[in-house]
Amino acid sequence: MATPVFFGVRHLSPAAAHQIRKKLDEIKPDLILVEGPSDLNDQMHWFCHPKTKLPAAILAYTEQMPIKTLLYPFAEYSPEYQAILWANENKIPCRFMDLPSHVFLAISEPEHEADNSSMTTEVVYNQLETMLEESHDTFWERKFEQLSDGYLEAAEEFGRQLRLSAEDSPYRQAENHIRESYMKRCIVHAQEEGYETIFCVCGAYHVEGLKHNEPLSDEEEKSLPSVPSNITLMPYSYYRLSQRSGYGAGNMAPAYFELLWKALCSEKPENAGYEYLTRLAAHQRKQGHMVSAAEVIEAMRLARTLAYMRSSRYPVLQDLRDAAITCMGHGQLSELSVSIANVEIGLKIGELPDGVSRTSIQDDFYRNLKELKLEKYRSPESLRLDLDLRENLKVKSEKSAFLDLNRSFFLQQLRVLDVRFGTLTKYKSDAVWGESWFLSWTPEAEIELVEAALLGETVKLAALYKLKDRADNCTEIAEAAKVFEDAFLCGIPKATEYALSALQMLSIDTAAIEEIAKTAQRLSYVIRYGDLRKFASDSIEPLLSQLFLRACLILESSCICDDEAAKGVMESIDILNRVQIDHDFLDETQWISLLETISNRDDINTKCSGFAMATLIERGLVDETLLSTEVSRRLSKGVPADLGAGWFEGLAQKNRYSLIMRLSLWRELDGYLSSLDEEEFKRALVFLRRAFSDFSPNEKSDIAENLGEIWGLEPEQTANILMSESNTLLDGLDDFDFGDI
C-alpha cells in the first residue's frame, strides 16, 4: 500500500493553490482528501457548480445558546478549493476528512479561556516577527509565495518546526490531536477501501501529526461528544475575508492575493506587482489625484530594490505599498489609504446558485417572500414598494386583507436584523397608515441573513432575540423607547412586552426632561396608532401617565437654565403639550397650572416663560388683558433688555399669526420702546432684533402695518421707512460697544 501524499498548505495561499494543481497533474491520485468538515461531503459538489462564484465559506453553528461557530472561508486561490476543482475536472472522488462539525463544535475551546501557556503559536509568530522585523504575513509571502517549486517540502518543514517550538494550551493541543487522529482514521479507511494513491490537503501544521499519529479507534470515535448544530455554505466577501473573522488564517489583502494568483496562473509572478501599482495609480486618478506614469515606474523600481535588500525574488505587498507611498503618496500613507483599501481588499462578493443548502432562517426568509408576494423584489435592481397598512376591506380572506401590514412587519424585522434588503423612505403623504420601501437584493444581504441565523431559527425569532438583547443593554430610557418602537413596528408582541419592562425599569432612574419628553412622544405614537398594527396599547397607558407625571414634576426646575438648554426645554414643553392634548387620561388641570406657574415666574429662563405663555395662548387660555399686562410687565423700563427680549422671543415661537393680529401687544411694545433713553434703546434693539430674526418678510411687513396703524401712518409708507431706516440704524450701531453683551 503506497503512503498517501501529504500536501501541507497555508489556507488562502496562491502559491500553494498553483502548485497543488501541478502536483496533482503529476501524481494523478485516485482519491483526494481535504481538510474540512466531513459532514459536508454531500454538498461539496456545489463548489464546482458553474454558477458558484467565490469567495464562499462553510459555516457551522450550534443550535442552542451560547452559539458557537466554525467558519472555513474559501477564495479562488484557496489550495483546498483548487484541489476540489481538480478532482471534479478529472472525475476523481474527493472528500472532506476533518471532524464533523457537530463534533468539532462540541470539543472546540471555550472562547474566553485564558491561555496560560507561554509558547503558543501566536508567541512563536511574534518572535519570528521581532527577529525579522517584518510582519508574519510579509515573511510568508517573501519565503513561500515566491517559490517556483518545492512549496510542499518547505511548508512541511515550516509546519514541523512550528510544532517543535510552539506549545499551545493543553486544551488546544488535545483538540489538534483529536482532529489529526480523526483525519488519519479517514485516510486509513480510504486505504482499506482500496484507494492506491491518496492525496491529502491539510494545513502545514498538521502534516507531521497525520504522518505519525495513530488513527482514532471505533470506540474512540463513538465516544466523541456532539452538539446539535447546523452546517451551511454561504457566500462570502473579500471585505469579510480581510477582517480575519472565523479561523485565524484570513488574509489582509484578498484582492492583491487574487492578482498574485492570476499572475501565477499565467506563469508570470512578477505581473502582480505591475498590476497592483497601475491599479493603485488608476484609483488615485479616479479620485482626482495626479499620478504620472513616471511615478508608477519609479515606484516599481523602488519596490524591486526593497525586495532585493530583503533578498526576495519579487517585491512583496509590503515593498509595493511602501514604494507607492514614497513615490506616489509623497511619503504619506493617508494620501493613498482609500486607493490602497480598494486595490488590496476590493469589493468582491461571492455568489452561490439557488438551491444550495440553506439555513433555517434562509428557508424562512424565502417562504415569507413567497407568502407575502415579494418574490419579484428579490433582484439587484432597487424597486419601490408602497404599503397601505389599513385592512383591505375589498378582499375576503384575512390573510390578504392584512397583506401589506404583514409585509411591513417582515421588512421591519429584517431592518432590525441589519439585513440590507429594504430601506425605509418617506411615504408620499404624511399619512401614518402608509410606508414606503426601496427593496433590492444583494449578495451582501444574503451574507447578513446567514449571519442572522446565529440569532434564531426564523426571521421573527432572530429579530426577537436581537431586540431582547438590545433591551438588555439599554442604559437610558430614550434608548429603551427606541427598542420598544422597533419592537412595535416589527409586530412581535413578546419583544414589545420585553422592551416595555426594560423601559419601565429605566424610567425609575432620573432622566433629563428632553429624554422623558421624547420617550413620551414615542409611547404616545404607539397608543394612537397601535390598532393600525393590531397592537393592544392598554398596557402602556400607565407608563405614559407615569412619565408624564415625572415630566410635570421636573419641568419647572428644568426651566432654570441657560439659553442653549432653553431650546431643548421649549421643545419638550411643546411635545408634552401635544401628548397631553392627544390623551385624555393625562391630567389636564395639572398641566395647565404648571404652564401658568412657569409663565408667571420671573426667576427662570425668560424664554421658557415666554414659551409657556405662548402655549397657553395656543390653548385659548389667555385673554387680551392678561396678555397686555404681561407684555407691559415683562417689557418695562427697569427690566434688563436681554431678559425682556428673551421672553418675547419665547412668546413668538408659536402662533405668530394671532400675535400679529393683536394690536394691543404692539401698542405695549411701542410704549416700552419710547420709554427708553438713547443708550437703553440701543441695547434693547440688539436683543429685539435677534428675537425678530426668524420672522418671515411677510410677517415683518404685517408688523410694520400694525405699527403704522398705531402711529397713524399709511401702512406702505411705514414699511418703506422701516426698511430704509433699519439700514441707517444698523450703521449707527457700528460705534456701539458690544463688549458686555
The residue from 49, 301, 373, 376 that contacts another protein (CB under 8 A) is: 301
The residue from 222, 330, 394, 426 that contacts another protein (CB under 8 A) is: 330
CB 322, min distance to another protein, A: 6
Q: Which of residues 74-133 bind another protein (CB under 8 A)?
A: 133
Q: Distances from the Cα of 199 to the Cαs of 66, 91, 451, 472, in angstroms?
A: 37, 14, 33, 51
322 binds another protein (CB under 8 A): yes
Polymer length in residues for the chain:
741
- Cα Rg, the chain, nearest whole Å: 36
Task: Choose the binding region for another protein from 11-19, 265-273, 292-300, 336-344 (rule: CB under 8 A).
Answer: 292-300
Which CB sits closer to another protein, 114 or 290? 290
CB 280, min distance to another protein, A: 16
What dihedral do alpha carbons 731, 734, 740, 741 form, nearest 10°?
Answer: 30
What is the distance of C-alpha 121 from the center of its chain? 33
The residue from 166, 216, 263, 302 that contacts another protein (CB under 8 A) is: 302
Structural contact between residues 579 and 481, judged by C-beta atoms closer than 8 angstroms: no
52 binds another protein (CB under 8 A): no
Task: Choose the binding region for another protein from 91-99, 328-336, 458-466, 497-505 (rule: CB under 8 A).
Answer: 328-336
Give the 3-state secondary structure of residue 305: helix
118: exposed, middle or buried (Cβ count in 10 Å: 0-12, 13-18, 19+): exposed
What dihedral do alpha carbons 564, 567, 573, 575 form, nearest 10°?
Answer: -130
- The residues near 209 (Cβ < 8 Å, ≥ 6 apart) are 163, 176, 177, 180, 184
The residue from 35, 76, 145, 295 that contacts another protein (CB under 8 A) is: 295
Which CB sits closer to another protein, 59 or 302? 302
CB 129, min distance to another protein, A: 13
The residue from 122, 298, 444, 709 that contacts another protein (CB under 8 A) is: 298
64-80 CB burial, b ≥16 within 10 A, e <16: eeeebbbbbbbbbbbbb
Which among 20, 42, 40 has a CA at the least distance from the CA of 32?
20
Q: Cα dihedral sign for 278, 280, 281, 285?
A: positive
The residue from 323, 405, 450, 499 that contacts another protein (CB under 8 A) is: 323
Which CB sits closer to another protein, 304 or 601? 304
CB 296, min distance to another protein, A: 12
294 binds another protein (CB under 8 A): yes
316 binds another protein (CB under 8 A): no
The residue from 15, 60, 103, 327 that contacts another protein (CB under 8 A) is: 327
Binding string to another protein for residues 332 to 361, with x set by CB under 8 A, is what?
x-----------------------------
571 binds another protein (CB under 8 A): no
Which CB sits closer to another protein, 335 or 571? 335
Q: Which of residues 128-187 bind another protein (CB under 8 A)?
A: 133
CB pairs under 8 A, 24+ apart, for 426-435? 427/386, 428/386, 432/529, 432/532, 433/388, 433/389, 433/390, 433/529, 433/532, 434/386, 434/387, 434/388, 434/389, 435/386, 435/387, 435/389, 435/408
CB 250, min distance to another protein, A: 23
Residue 66, preceding peptide bond in cis (omega within 30° of 0):
yes
CB 158, min distance to another protein, A: 24
Structural contact between residues 34 and 97, judged by C-beta atoms closer than 8 angstroms: yes
d(CA 165, CA 709): 98
The residue from 3, 173, 287, 305 that contacts another protein (CB under 8 A) is: 305
Task: Choose the binding region for another protein from 79-87, 322-330, 350-358, 500-508 (rule: CB under 8 A).
Answer: 322-330
Which CB sits closer to another protein, 94 or 323? 323
288: exposed, middle or buried (Cβ count in 10 Å: 0-12, 13-18, 19+): exposed
CB 427, min distance to another protein, A: 47
C-alpha cell at 202: 491539510
What's the one-letter identity of residue 54?
Answer: L
**Residue 342: other Cβ atoms inside 10 A:** 18
CB 10, min distance to another protein, A: 24
**Residue 610: other Cβ atoms inside 10 A:** 28
CB 196, min distance to another protein, A: 49
Phi, psi of 560 (to 5 degrees): -85, 95
CB 308, min distance to another protein, A: 8
The residue from 65, 114, 131, 290 that contacts another protein (CB under 8 A) is: 290
Which CB sits closer to another protein, 332 or 658? 332
Structural contact between residues 96 and 40, judged by C-beta atoms closer than 8 angstroms: yes
CB 141, min distance to another protein, A: 15
Which among 97, 83, 81 has a CA at the least distance from the CA of 25?
83
CB 124, min distance to another protein, A: 22
Which CB sits closer to another protein, 321 or 533? 321
Pairing of strands 229-235, 56-62: antiparallel
Which secondary structure element, helix H or strand E, spans residue 221, and what is its range? helix 218-222
Which among 434, 348, 409 has a CA at the least distance from the CA of 53?
348
CB 14, min distance to another protein, A: 24
293 binds another protein (CB under 8 A): no
The residue from 187, 306, 340, 598 that contacts another protein (CB under 8 A) is: 306
Binding string to another protein for residues 245 to 284, with x set by CB under 8 A, is what?
----------------------------------------
C-alpha cell at 247: 479561523
Which CB sits closer to another protein, 298 or 670? 298
Task: Choose the binding region for another protein from 58-66, 278-286, 303-311, 470-478 (rule: CB under 8 A).
Answer: 303-311
CB 331, min distance to another protein, A: 4
d(CA 601, CA 579): 24
Which CB sits closer to another protein, 292 or 658? 292
260-284 CB burial, b ≥16 within 10 A, e <16: bbbbbeeeebebbbebbbbbbbebb
Which CB sits closer to another protein, 332 or 636? 332
CB 134, min distance to another protein, A: 8
326 binds another protein (CB under 8 A): yes
Which CB sits closer to another protein, 216 or 327? 327
d(CA 686, CA 736): 10
CB 147, min distance to another protein, A: 22
CB 474, min distance to another protein, A: 28
Q: How many residues of this chain interact with another protein, rule: CB under 8 A?
A: 20
Provide the binding-site residues for another protein, judged by CB under 8 A.
Answer: 133, 290, 292, 294-295, 298, 301-302, 305-306, 308-310, 322-323, 326-327, 330-332
